Structure 1
């Protein structure tokens, strides 16, 4: 048949042959492509399953894993008696995994009361983030976190983190400083010792299923978090409170722009208290301004005024140009010196050098110091620690201002001895007075006594360090006696404590204008520096008030605060009076030593007694610890406080006689205990 068709239609046969040939070619090409494709897939499968097997296993595992940083607990800051001043607590963080939430608006509506955000704010925050977890609120307590968990919202998760707490509130806050939510110290001790306190973060690996839900049982701990070390300060919580209370009294009465006080142990250099006003509550970081964070004791430089006269007097006594009993003519209150007139507040004729210091005569001091060479005076100023940081270990410390004699003018030998043309911090002034109290030996001040590990085993310990001898013991003793005269019969009478020898010096300096130069009109710095007891000092105290209103003399503003602090410290440390016959019963006003009592602190009527018998124990039951300390600080008794909260019992009983040095035990109990 094919032959017949070929004879009838020769052309069609040729076409068919051509078609058969083209089809076969295409078939072969497709077959080749399929074979190559299968081979490529096979090769790829071999590569994936065999060659790259380990890689793809790791890749899949990584997709199921989430690395989580475990924050350590920040170390505790203690006072010298291991009272916690800064602690850390574990709190919950409310988080949301956006990709797991089906109805974002509904979830936002339910979470709004707990996140302290409006639903719209939550929606906007989640929608604008490309993170796996979005943090909505930090600092949740366990109870609140449990309530949120009961909502059974898919995609809502929690993370635990360490949060800083300051149980004493504003107490010593300018010294302690603050740490932020990232567990990093940004002020004070928290900043200076951040490396010791922070600890080391740990790491966990979270395993999730195909729905991205966490499989708790498979959580892997790669590295354990290492809690921070603890820092022990030299300050005493009670002395700190006493100091801050005295500063608060200055603020209430004189409304200064600022105030500060520092207490040192003159024999060791330990800082027992550092107080500042204004201050802040580190538990409420959103409520204070940055200027309130400043630790004025180490940052603020001011002309010390007459509190600098003992330093100049020390140089004169050491060089033997005068003795305390030598007499100096004080020009009846006015003297020209290098073209400038110096004045005394009160005119004096011929008085002893001891009286020059006691009555704070500018003219008498200038006359005496003019007998020295400028370099001699400069050397003693530097030896007392002025013009350089004390290296107390606190951030922001100023070195003060001391110019070398090469740049002094002819007026400088008149200005510097009375505390002008020189700048000092309160801490520098306290260190210098401590050297006088310590028989002429200058100690390095320090505020941290130890660093402990998380188990409270010591890692570092700091001991007292004597830097140098500044003056001879005999000179220190003469100068101490002169400073006692200041409080007995001179400008510092308001600092005198009955029964104790107090050494100190008042100072009143016009405030320097740091912007325009010269001095601020009508603004003064009131200062008092001293130590108690003078015969065996346990505390050196400097009180400064910046631009007080009304009264502005150091003897009127700062000296009474010194007395309050010193009296409280003597009671706290149970130092018996050296002259108990000087002590008299305090005058009773408003029911209790002139203090207006709050309604809850009204004293109960004690049994009747003869007023001539001396002081008697009041009834302090129902009072707070602070109220008891404040009320009993006027007596030379050994105060023993037990517990916390409200006073529930006392010994001696109300009405019993209070002799000097008698132990007084007050027991306290919390209302909720």
Structure 2
């Protein structure tokens, strides 16, 4: 190789070295410039992007408000539970703890794996809801990427089926479905809070940074019921349904001085804590939603209307002979010929003929108007979902048969709660009170619907019903003066009335000397040998009312009877 060629080769090598050097310098400059940019101009952007992958705003559940009885005893509470869910897109399907997770959640391991594989693009899938906090801790300990645990609450009902028709229940999402859980859902559920948390690469919360908004718990709701009386009434009503093989039954206990509902029970019922085998037939709050013809429990109202008309006095006598009466070709009968009966006797013997004669001799709307004024044919405005207003027809003067049957409780329909409200004026010296299912801080303003003298007179008439000569001697309560009225109404069917299906009713008040309690018992279609209200509903009234008076420390007002009972023992 000549000297000239050697020089050219060396020059080429030097040029290439400089080219490489310059390239390296440029690359280094770009790297340095990028590093400077990352730490200056782009630092905020990168910090934001990093936080977006580790910082999360999570909802914190709000504690649902308590539902309690009038004394603060819980009827519905919220207990802490957890929800287990998966992010299929992020879940580590190769994790060896997946079978253990399936066993903890009572799932089939292969089914769990298949569900995760079949939804690779989903970001959320429930695995198990409302699990115990202890089980949630075990799930967290498995350390599986893509499996998450959220804290929440589950509704629990300490009284079970005893108060469920009033309280109702929530669904798995904590939304009210029945009863006051539904009616006051917005008030009870509260507002969830928000918290900023730091998560690891597996989506698990590793640090609570700060609260952005505190959870606002739901408001508590105090009902008017007394849980002691609720248990007592429920036990006796359930026993009566089983004894008489009845289709259903309801019982209502009211405070005669305030209109508060102290107990309200129904059969059949259900356990809101375990609804796996729930029978829809047990869901209805029959005391508020089911209507029936009240039968002879309306006779005191008819007698009161007669006394208020001015055409009749307390001592007047009505001839009920020969034990029946013809009204436009229809026969209305008594159980037997009672002959001449005064006003008290009409109630004592439950004379159909007596009240029909009274009703037809008055203005055509006299009885109907008093029934309406006492709360029948209109809602009780309790706020309970599905409340019925019953039926109270307008009758013309020419509708004599309908006016006659209305006087002894046919041709209209009521709920057990309405019937109980209509008896408040007899216990409250003629003043009707609004019904309340919530605990009241003060006595409500009432409305006078009859003179105090008339209310007192009719109340005294009803006391004779529970004596040996009346139709409900089994309603008597030892040591107390009580009064009321039986009702035994044929059930309406297509084309008329069933011959062997009845609604057995007793509506009563105690103690007569200073009325405190109004109670109604309705047993639907008892199938045993006994079906009269005095034989089916009255004994339930007696047992429950006796317990109520003692639990409320209401002193006896019939010391003579109580002394005779003690002496006989």
1:535 corresponds in structure 2 to 513
Report the Cα offset of residue 229 of structure 1: 1.1
Cα deviations across residues 321-374 of structure 1 (Å, max 9, x unaligned)?
223332211133222111111111233211222111111111111011111111
2:234 corresponds in structure 1 to 244
Cα distance between partner residues in 2 of 1:107 and 1:337: 85
> CA, structure 1 residues 55+374, in 2 after alignment: closer, same or farther (shift >3 Å)?
farther
Question: 2:132 pairs with 136, 141, 144, which one?
Answer: 141
2:329 corresponds in structure 1 to 339
Report the Cα offset of residue 478 of structure 1: 0.3
- Secondary structure of the 1:405 match is coil
2:535 corresponds in structure 1 to 556
- Select between 336-345 and 501-510 the one with higher mean Cα deviation: 336-345
Cα deviations across residues 268-302 of structure 1 (Å, max 9, x unaligned)?
00110000000111111223122312111110111
> CA, structure 1 residues 338+123, in 2 after alignment: closer, same or farther (shift >3 Å)?
farther
Question: 1:491 pairs with 459, 463, 471, which one?
Answer: 471
Report the Cα offset of residue 132 of structure 1: 2.8
> CA, structure 1 residues 218+149, in 2 after alignment: closer, same or farther (shift >3 Å)?
closer
Question: 1:193 pairs with 150, 165, 184, which one?
Answer: 184
Q: Contact between 1:239 and 1:569, CA under 8 Å: does it hold in 2? A: yes
2:13 corresponds in structure 1 to none
Q: Contact between 2:261 and 2:437, CA under 8 Å: does it hold in 1? A: yes
> CA, structure 1 residues 350+169, in 2 after alignment: closer, same or farther (shift >3 Å)?
same
Report the Cα offset of residue 103 of structure 1: 2.8
Question: Considering only aligned residues, what root-mean-square deviation do their CA atoms show, in Å?
Answer: 2.7
Cα distance between partner residues in 1 of 2:124 and 2:564: 68
Report the Cα offset of residue 99 of structure 1: 3.4
Q: Is residue 377 of structure 2 the alignment partner of residue 397 of structure 1?
A: no
Q: Please show how residues 640-659 of structure 1 align to structure 2 within 5 Å.
A: none
Cα distance between partner residues in 2 of 1:613 and 1:437: 31
Cα distance between partner residues in 2 of 1:408 and 1:294: 38
Report the Cα offset of residue 100 of structure 1: 3.7
> CA, structure 1 residues 213+391, in 2 after alignment: closer, same or farther (shift >3 Å)?
closer
1:165 corresponds in structure 2 to 156
Cα distance between partner residues in 2 of 1:366 and 1:193: 45
- Secondary structure of the 2:485 match is strand
- Secondary structure of the 1:571 match is helix
Report the Cα offset of residue 122 of structure 1: 2.2
Q: Please show how residues 227-238 of structure 1 align to structure 2 within 5 Å.
A: 227-238=217-228
Q: Contact between 2:197 and 2:207, CA under 8 Å: does it hold in 1? A: no
Report the Cα offset of residue 375 of structure 1: 2.1
Question: 2:454 pairs with 472, 475, 481, which one?
Answer: 475
Report the Cα offset of residue 252 of structure 1: 1.7
> CA, structure 1 residues 121+345, in 2 after alignment: closer, same or farther (shift >3 Å)?
farther
- Secondary structure of the 2:365 match is helix
> CA, structure 1 residues 110+471, in 2 after alignment: closer, same or farther (shift >3 Å)?
same
> CA, structure 1 residues 215+478, in 2 after alignment: closer, same or farther (shift >3 Å)?
closer
Q: Contact between 1:324 and 1:482, CA under 8 Å: does it hold in 2? A: no
Cα deviations across residues 69-89 of structure 1 (Å, max 9, x unaligned)?
221111111111111111111
1:658 corresponds in structure 2 to none
Q: Contact between 1:495 and 1:563, CA under 8 Å: does it hold in 2? A: yes
Q: Is residue 515 of structure 2 the alignment partner of residue 547 of structure 1?
A: no
Q: Please show how residues 108-123 of structure 1 align to structure 2 within 5 Å.
A: 108-123=98-113
Q: Please show how residues 206-605 of structure 1 align to structure 2 within 5 Å.
A: 206-209=197-200, 211-217=201-207, 219-406=209-396, 409-449=399-439, 463-488=442-467, 489-513=469-493, 516-550=494-528, 551-583=530-562
- Select between 567-576 and 66-75 the one with higher mean Cα deviation: 66-75
Cα distance between partner residues in 2 of 1:388 and 1:156: 55
> CA, structure 1 residues 517+190, in 2 after alignment: closer, same or farther (shift >3 Å)?
farther
1:174 corresponds in structure 2 to 165
1:83 corresponds in structure 2 to 73
Cα distance between partner residues in 2 of 1:462 and 1:406: 43
> CA, structure 1 residues 317+121, in 2 after alignment: closer, same or farther (shift >3 Å)?
farther
> CA, structure 1 residues 230+585, in 2 after alignment: closer, same or farther (shift >3 Å)?
farther
Report the Cα offset of residue 219 of structure 1: 4.1
Q: Contact between 1:531 and 1:541, CA under 8 Å: does it hold in 2? A: yes
- Secondary structure of the 2:123 match is coil
Q: Contact between 2:103 and 2:109, CA under 8 Å: does it hold in 1? A: no
Q: Contact between 1:505 and 1:529, CA under 8 Å: does it hold in 2? A: yes
Q: Contact between 1:69 and 1:203, CA under 8 Å: does it hold in 2? A: yes
Cα distance between partner residues in 2 of 1:575 and 1:614: 24
Q: Contact between 1:505 and 1:530, CA under 8 Å: does it hold in 2? A: yes
Cα distance between partner residues in 1 of 2:361 and 2:345: 18
Report the Cα offset of residue 613 of structure 1: 6.6
Report the Cα offset of residue 154 of structure 1: 3.5
- Secondary structure of the 1:562 match is helix
Report the Cα offset of residue 171 of structure 1: 1.6
> CA, structure 1 residues 151+208, in 2 after alignment: closer, same or farther (shift >3 Å)?
closer
Q: Contact between 2:502 and 2:524, CA under 8 Å: does it hold in 1? A: yes
Report the Cα offset of residue 112 of structure 1: 2.5
Cα distance between partner residues in 2 of 1:218 and 1:240: 45
1:126 corresponds in structure 2 to 116
Cα distance between partner residues in 2 of 1:177 and 1:128: 38
Structure 2, unaligned runs of 5 or more: 1-32
Cα deviations across residues 24-79 of structure 1 (Å, max 9, x unaligned)?
xxxxxxxxxxxxxxxxxx9xx99xx96x9877765554344444322111111111
Report the Cα offset of residue 499 of structure 1: 2.1
> CA, structure 1 residues 332+127, in 2 after alignment: closer, same or farther (shift >3 Å)?
farther
